Structure 1
Amino acid sequence: MKAVVYRRHGGPEVLTLTERPAADPGPGEVRVRIVVSAVNPTDWKARSGLRAEPGAEVPETVPNQDGAGVVDAVGPDVTGFAPGDRVWTVIAGAYGPLSGTAQEYTVLPAAKLVRLPDGTGFDEGAGFGVPALTAHRALTVAEDGPSRLAPGALDGRTVLVSGGAGAVGNAAIQLARWAGATVVATVSSDEKAALARAAGAQHVVRYPDPELGARIREVAPDGVDVVVEVAAGVNAKLHTEVLRPRGTVAAYGDDRGTGTVALDFGPALWLNARYQFLVLYTVGEDKLRAGAEDVTAAFADGALRLGEDHGVPVHRFSLAETAKAHAASEEGITGKVLIDVSPAG
């Protein structure tokens, strides 16, 4: 089978297309023929090595956490899946260095697979994995809020989505609207404002703006319940300007930041503000499973969709162009980067 691998940390150029044997599934495992793989920032950050020395050698690794495809074979003791089932993956690459989705077949534990509902495409299954699970967690950590999402779960709540045209921002808007929230999104351009509105945000505000907090308060005079935050450091002051008492900041990124978040203690104290930092790799299997179930329900309801008319332009690459796909994501292309791995049929 064809697979993309890297053997050392570095730029997209370390990714090479090679031939590897397709592994057989062991006990509790499932082999999936990947139809679509997706690229997220976590994928190129892992490839580049984050804090590792450039060029440091690593075990042969297949990149990409997210993908969708068709069950090809099941191992002993597997129930709930059969060959031919359409599925999407839950942080596939975290299972092992050779379990990523930038290959024609991958073998995963059954617990890392979720059935795709009828009517939901492989693009959605691959494209919303990490972003939607991150957004789900962000929307379910508030002290006074729900722990699960469903229609009506966020009725009466106001959610501020920082970076409403990003992948997680888009998923947060779509999921929050599905659950009944009023959504305010911040964006940096008119083009991104159009995408946030297409995703479903009822209110969109531009930054930078010294009056950004006041503009958000105009549409949420009592304050926002949850901030889904991609830029924790640079927006720390904004949080205390717009949060309601006992409001929550769910921080998954520090874009444009320094890696250090400085909080104004007094205002945060009197608000009883809650900060929840989140990353999927250590969130816990129970949280991942809950998120996967709710995201799948949103898929079934048609509430999570890709495409520019849903606020997510799609950029397609072939498996042989995986390096170009990583470069596009790393360079900050707006929208979703997808890789066509094998035919859908």
Structure 2
Amino acid sequence: MQAIVFTRRGGVTTVRRAERSVPVPGPGEVRVRLRVSGVNPLDAKWRGRADDLEYVPHHDGAGVVDAVGPGVDAARTGERVWVWGAGWQRSEGTAQEFVVLPAELAVPLPDNASFELGASLGIPALTAHRCLTLGEGGPQRLGPGALAGRTVLVAGGAGAVGNAAIQLARWAGAAVVTTVSSPEKAVLAKAAGADHVVDYRAEGAAEEIRRFAPAGVDLVAEVNVAQNSALDRAVLAPGGTVACYATVDGEKLVLDIREMMMSNFRWQGVFLYAISAPAAENGVAAVSAAVADGALRCGAEAGLPLHRYPLDEVVAAQDAALDPAVIGKPLITLP
């Protein structure tokens, strides 16, 4: 099978296309014949961080189960699946034709959902779900009506996590306001389903959000808390939560302790691979239900343009995932 292999030694990262043996699933594992590999900013940020490590990158993907190991129901063979977490603490990610992984990380994908959608779920959708379930008294698992009566602010509504957060929040019945930085991104955020879109760089952004949510927003899914903390504080309702899921190395956040106490504000960090097993299971179940309901979509018509790359262009796809000028989701189409 064909795979892209990254190696870092002596501070130098090399990338090569390799012909490898097709792996055999062990106990509790499945083998997935991958059709699409999803590319996330995390994949590019981690590129070459560890010396003396050879690995196949990427955590997300979609394809078909073509073999199962001992202890796994043989009926899963032939099942369409979306894959998440394939490369976490393992050297075998999804930038290859076949991947073996624990059976629970290969989640059934409905027939009406494309492999491109399946590969776009994973880290973005599960991170969005976690952010949306951290509010005071909020649900542990999203579903229709689970956020009814609540107002959610999604920072960066044209990003992959922001797009998923808008779609999931709307599916769960929330009123959704989102911030963007350009008219082009505003169009995409509206396509995702946002009720109201605000340019966060414009003067009076907080007042604009407050006009939409006079009592304040209950929850913020935040992509850049260091930059946006003042805006978040200005629009949070008493008891509100800011769930932040991204940062740049070295960024600091300074908060007014008295303000936090008097308003019962909550500032919550989110790193998908450090959440509890029940929280991950709830996320997988909710994302799967949203896909089955047609509430999670991809493509420009859903606010998430797709950028397709062949296997040989993994580095270009990763660079695109970090490039602020590239709006949308990079995907690797497997041969």
User: Is 1:324 paired with 2:316?
Assistant: yes
TM-score, length-scaled by structure 2? 0.96
> 8 Å contact 1:32–1:69 — kept in the other structure?
yes
**Residues paired across the two proteins, number:** 334
The residue type paired with residue 70 of structure 1 is: V
* Aligned with residue 311 of structure 1, among 303, 322, 326: 303
> Could you tell me how far apart the structure 2 residues matched to 1:267 and 1:144 are?
21
Partner of 1:234, secondary structure, is: helix
Map of 1:276 onto structure 2: 268
Q: How far off its partner does 1:330 sit?
A: 2.4
Change (3 A) 1:211 1:119: same
Q: How does 1:142-221 map to 2 (within 5 A)?
A: 142-221=135-214
> Could you tell me how far apart the structure 1 residues matched to 2:89 and 2:30 are?
12
Q: How far off its partner does 1:234 sit?
A: 1.3
Change (3 A) 1:296 1:136: same
Change (3 A) 1:12 1:280: farther
* Aligned with residue 122 of structure 2, among 123, 129, 152: 129
Q: How far off its partner does 1:59 sit?
A: 2.2
* More deviation, 188-197/229-238: 229-238
> 8 Å contact 2:245–2:271 — kept in the other structure?
yes
> 8 Å contact 2:28–2:72 — kept in the other structure?
yes
Q: How far off its partner does 1:238 sit?
A: 1.6
User: Is 1:45 paired with 2:38?
Assistant: no
> Could you tell me how far apart the structure 2 residues matched to 1:35 and 1:217 are?
44
* Aligned with residue 297 of structure 1, among 268, 289, 293: 289
> Could you tell me how far apart the structure 2 residues matched to 1:124 and 1:135 are?
15
> 8 Å contact 1:2–1:103 — kept in the other structure?
yes
Map of 1:75 onto structure 2: 69
CA deviation string 1:11-37 (max 9, x = no partner) = 997322111111101111111101000
RMSD: 1.8
The residue type paired with residue 299 of structure 1 is: V
Q: How far off its partner does 1:253 sit?
A: 1.4
* Aligned with residue 62 of structure 1, among 47, 56, 71: 56
Change (3 A) 1:102 1:12: farther
> 8 Å contact 2:9–2:53 — kept in the other structure?
no
> 8 Å contact 2:82–2:121 — kept in the other structure?
no
> Could you tell me how far apart the structure 2 residues matched to 1:285 and 1:72 are?
26
> Could you tell me how far apart the structure 2 residues matched to 1:11 and 1:41 are?
21
Unaligned runs of 5+ in 1: none
The residue type paired with residue 128 of structure 1 is: L
Change (3 A) 1:209 1:254: farther
CA deviation string 1:70-95 (max 9, x = no partner) = 00100001137521100111211015
> Could you tell me how far apart the structure 1 residues matched to 2:300 and 2:280 are?
27
Map of 1:287 onto structure 2: 279
> Could you tell me how far apart the structure 2 residues matched to 1:206 and 1:13 are?
39
> Could you tell me how far apart the structure 2 residues matched to 1:275 and 1:78 are?
40
> 8 Å contact 1:223–1:244 — kept in the other structure?
yes
Change (3 A) 1:253 1:81: farther
Change (3 A) 1:210 1:318: same
* More deviation, 322-331/116-125: 322-331
* More deviation, 75-84/319-328: 75-84
Map of 1:4 onto structure 2: 4
Map of 1:91 onto structure 2: 85
> Could you tell me how far apart the structure 1 residues matched to 2:43 and 2:314 are?
11
> Could you tell me how far apart the structure 1 residues matched to 2:303 and 2:150 are?
22
